[in-house]
């Protein structure tokens, strides 16, 4: 569609909401009106039924291409939730013991004080493996995965494993991929597509097929104005963002956690728009998904492991994830209270949900995949405009409004 044929209506928020969920549409529309959103989609399911299915804006500003119902967007760290689910399915099938040493499946991992590190410790960001001493590049991941595995196995932990917690922003995915291959003989992306995406009919991909490339939204970095007037001033503030940004500048834990691959660092957002990165499996950041697909996956988890007759895991397998397994009042990398359970994020109460049993994973720019088994609620939210917040105010407003609507519907 050429730019001359575009009408403003093409960018308006479209889709449907169930009775009582109108305020959710209003909140999303307000975010667009304020310029906080350039393109986004939101899907919410309650008790297995979709109650919010909205999209709007542009997936490509330069070419003025509207966002559509089936647009795919980069999930950034919400990718980690899909990885955690893959491991949960292995455990459900008796192929993985979370409390077994990683070295049981990957013997070389035992080097340099890591022989007792368990799978649970690694997936819960407690292994002290927040960065790598030898740079890992996209070229290395693409052409020499065996060398990547050697670098990971040789890495010395930054602290005694299981004595502290720090978000393994990149290395979570690097270690997860090699461990998964050692257990199953296949990649996370192949398993995700065959065992999750295809059975559920969910658009969630780690390693995007070429034929779906035309549906992908372009990611946009924070604007120059936002960097000057919002990001830079944070360095002088006592906010969560300020604490993290100062670490990055000073070379602290946050800098180490996001140093490699350098091509995908803070200044490398455009690289996430390339076919090369779309095709790779980067299990910490590059899953491409639709909001509908992300919501559908979490809907299965919100309902005890199955939705519409498709079962991913048994209900009892999800049970341990409902409890906090790791918690820190100030995570060494993200400098805020948070924790994990078998790779799923457990947030502060009220961040995305009022219920402690809820879990999922957010991503840079505001992306969010979340579920609340207590409320039988699942949320998939995917924007394409980055922001500087550690936890997106846009995502939080949407979540708060979703719960308000749910509570209102439940009143007599």
Kindly report the backbone phi and psi dihedral angles of residue 77, in degrees, each rounded to the nearest multiple of 5, phi listed first: -70, -5
Report pLDDT for 4. Answer: 37
Can you say whether the dihedral through the CA atoms of 185, 189, 191, 193 is positive or negative?
negative
The stretch 175-184 carries a mean pLDDT of: 98
- Say how far apart CA 249 and CA 241 lie, in whole Å: 12
H or E stretch covering 76: none
Of 11 and 167, the one with more pLDDT: 167
Note whether 382 and 73 are within 8 A (CB). yes
Position 6 scores a pLDDT of 45
**In this predicted structure, which of 22-36, 245-259, 318-332 has the lowest mean pLDDT?**
245-259
Give the residue among 204, 221, 231 at the shortest CA–CA distance from 273: 221
pLDDT the model gives residue 8: 52
pLDDT tens sequence across 329-358: 999 999 999 999 999 999 999 999 999 999
- From CA 121, how far away is CA 88, in angstroms rounded? 14
Q: What are the structure tokens assigned to 409, written together?
A: 């519907």
Per DSSP (E only), the strands in 96-230 are 204-205
Phi, psi of 214 (to 5 degrees): -70, -10
pLDDT at 1: 35
Residue of higher predicted confidence among 307 and 8: 307
Q: Return the closest-CA partner of residue 231 out of 398, 390, 383, 74.
A: 390
What is the pLDDT averaged over residues 316-325?
98
Tell me: pLDDT of 7 over 80: no
* C-alpha distances in Å from residue 179, one per residue of 48, 154, 268, 385: 32, 14, 27, 33
The token duo for 220 is 């946009």
Question: Which SS3 state, helix, strand or coil, does residue 288 take?
Answer: strand
- Among the residue ranges 95-104, 311-320, 383-392, the one predicted with the least confidence is 383-392
DSSP 216-260: BPPPBPPPHHHIIIIIHHHTTS-SHHHHHHHHHHHT-HHHHHT-S
Helix (H, G, I), strand (E, B) or coil at 213: helix
Of the listed ranges 93-107, 136-150, 226-240, the least confidently predicted one is 226-240
Q: Is residue 310 very low, low, confident or very high in pLDDT (cuts 50, 70, 90)?
A: very high
Query: Is-contact 341 124, C-beta < 8 A?
Result: yes
Q: What is the pTM of this model?
A: 0.96
- The pLDDT confidence band at residue 266, using thresholds 50, 70 and 90, is confident
Query: For residue 18, what are the contacts with CB-CB under 8 A and spacing of at least 6?
Result: 49, 50, 51, 52
Q: Pick from 112, 122, 82: which is nearest to 340 by CA?
A: 122
CA 243 – CA 245 distance, rounded (Å): 6
Cβ neighbors of 201 (< 8 A, separation 6 or more) are 296
Which are the contacts of 314, defined by CB distance < 8 A and separation ≥ 6?
92, 305
Q: Where are the domains of the chain?
A: 3-82+190-410
What does the pLDDT read at residue 9? Answer: 59
Torsion over CA: 207, 259, 132, 329 (sign)? negative
Residue 55 carries which DSSP code? E
pLDDT at residue 256, rounded to an integer: 93
When pLDDT is averaged across residues 83-110 and rounded to a whole number, the result is 98
* Cβ(6)–Cβ(66) below 8 Å: yes
pLDDT tens figures, 73-84:
999 999 999 999
Homologous superfamily (CATH) of 3-82+190-410 is DD-peptidase/beta-lactamase superfamily (3.40.710.10)
Q: In degrees, to the nearest 5, what angle opens at C-alpha 129 toward C-alphas 264 and 352?
A: 70
Relative to beta strand 39-46, strand 65-66 is unpaired
Give the Cα separation of 195 and 47 in Å (integer). Answer: 22
Q: Report the C-alpha gap between 283 and 262 in whole angstroms.
A: 16
Which of 310, 279, 81, 274 has its CA nearest to residue 200?
A: 310
* DSSP one-letter code for 307: E
SS3 of the chain: helix, strand, coil, percent, to 5:
45, 15, 40
Whether the ω angle into residue 261 lies within 30 degrees of 0, i.e. cis, is: yes
């Amino acid at each position: 569609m050429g730019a001359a044929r575009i009408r403003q209506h093409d960018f308006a928020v479209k889709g449907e909401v169930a009775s009582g969920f109108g305020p959710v549409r209003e909140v999303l529309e307000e975010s667009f009106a304020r310029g906080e959103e350039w393109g986004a989609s939101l899907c919410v399911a309650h008790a297995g039924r979709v109650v919010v299915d909205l999209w709007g804006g542009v997936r490509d500003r330069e070419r003025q291409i509207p966002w559509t119902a089936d647009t795919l967007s980069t999930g950034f760290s919400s990718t980690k939730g899909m990885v955690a689910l893959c491991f949960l399915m292995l455990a459900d099938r008796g192929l993985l013991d979370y409390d077994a040493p990683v070295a049981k499946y990957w013997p070389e991992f035992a080097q340099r004080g890591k022989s007792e590190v368990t799978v649970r410790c690694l997936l819960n960001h407690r292994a002290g493996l927040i960065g790598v001493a030898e740079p890992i590049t996209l070229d290395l991941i693409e052409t020499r995965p065996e060398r990547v595995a050697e670098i990971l196995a040789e890495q010395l932990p930054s602290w005694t494993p299981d004595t502290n917690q720090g978000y393994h922003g990149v290395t979570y995915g690097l270690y997860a991929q090699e461990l998964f291959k050692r257990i199953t003989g296949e990649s996370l992306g192949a398993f995700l597509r065959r065992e999750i995406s295809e059975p559920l009919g969910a658009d969630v991909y780690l390693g995007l097929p070429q034929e779906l490339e035309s549906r992908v939204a372009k990611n946009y970095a924070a604007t120059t104005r936002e960097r000057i007037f919002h990001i830079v001033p944070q360095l002088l503030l006592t906010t969560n963002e300020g604490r993290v940004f100062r670490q990055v500048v000073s070379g602290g834990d946050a800098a180490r956690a996001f140093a490699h691959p350098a091509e995908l660092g803070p200044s490398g957002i455009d690289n996430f728009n390339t076919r090369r990165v779309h095709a790779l499996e980067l299990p910490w950041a590059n899953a491409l998904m639709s909001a509908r697909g992300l919501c559908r996956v979490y809907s299965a988890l919100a309902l005890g492991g199955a939705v519409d007759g498709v079962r991913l895991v048994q209900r009892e397998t999800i049970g341990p994830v409902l409890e906090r397994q790791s918690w820190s009042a100030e995570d060494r990398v993200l400098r805020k209270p948070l924790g994990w359970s078998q790779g799923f994020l457990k947030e502060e109460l009220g961040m995305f949900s009022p219920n402690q049993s809820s879990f999922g994973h957010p991503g840079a720019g505001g992306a969010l995949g979340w579920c609340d088994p207590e409320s039988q609620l699942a949320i998939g939210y995917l924007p394409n405009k980055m922001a500087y917040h550690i936890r997106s105010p846009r995502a939080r407003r949407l979540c708060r409004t979703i719960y308000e609507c749910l509570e209102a519907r439940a009143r007599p």
